[in-house]
Amino acid sequence: MDAVWFEAEQPVVGIVDEACSDTSDDAGTRPIHVDDALEAVFADDDATIARGTLEDVLAAEPSLVVAAGESTLSAIARADPDVPVLPVGDIVGLETVERDALLDALTVALAGNATIHRRAVLGVDVDETSRDGDGSPVRALFDVALVTDEPARISEYSVSSRGKSVATFRADGVVVATPAGSHGYASAVDAPHLSSAVDAVAVTPIAPFVMQTRQWVLPEDDLTLTVKRNDTAVRLVVDDRPAETVPVDATVTIAVDGALSTLSVPDLESE
């Protein structure tokens, strides 16, 4: 549910510096420049800046985080912070602000006129082994996919929802997208576009052997994917990051694992 964001006195604005982070692989992503005008906005609101890698920024316990690029947002979602994020730049599926509008956007946000949107984040387990270093499931803000390591090599996959079989099909892979992710890569393989108001995921075969294979909108909890047969290795990819090879008959379990709060400001979002 959306809500208006109110900030306490002396906020800390975190700025993830792409030059210092491991998330600088987005095409066209570059560090957010803090000029005199932006410094003046912070001074007017008794705000301070925490800048550096994502780890450095989160350690400063920011009131909000400014982040540019899809991979930066994915990294923040994996870190699971309890802090809203102001997305900057062209990120399909999310309300963002352009770089040249960041000054106005922060002015509005620090005045308490921004809106918080809760974006579902998926947790992913492969037979409960596909976990991050802290033992938690791998997390995805946009999508989860099973894909063959070699192009045009078909494997067989099954999809189940809440313990019931949905379909079995042959394809190059299968992608599960959140509402935000359904407008990105998943859209290129004809996944349904989902509203952020829907508690569901879009599930779509990638290059299916039978062209009439369906796409599905399914509940966002207790979804399982299984590789039933493969002619080449099948890899789990989470928010465009290769995670691990998935063997035949291994169960990939996908369910909502919290949310990422993003901020939008009136009349400044880019579509």
Strand pairing class (164-177; 155-161):
antiparallel
In a shared domain, residues 154 and 190? yes
Q: What percent of the chain has pLDDT over 70?
A: 85
Residue 53's beta-bridge partner residues?
none
CA–CA gap between residue 151 and residue 49 (Å, rounded): 45
In a shared domain, residues 12 and 137? no
Query: Looking at residue 256, what is its pLDDT?
Result: 94
Torsion sign across C-alpha atoms 87, 262, 176, 124: positive
In a shared domain, residues 91 and 152? no
Question: Does 237 have pLDDT greater than 70?
Answer: yes
Average pLDDT estimate for 45-52: 85
Q: Give how many domains the chain has, as a whole number.
A: 2
User: By residue range, what is the domain housing residue 152?
Assistant: 122-257
In a shared domain, residues 236 and 209? yes
Taking a C-beta distance cutoff of 8 angstroms, is the pair 97, 68 a contact? no
pLDDT tens for each residue of 74-128:
999 999 999 999 999 888 888 899 888 888 888 888 888 889 999 999 999 988 5
CATH at residue 126? 2.60.200.30
Phi/psi of residue 153, nearest 5 degrees = -110, 110
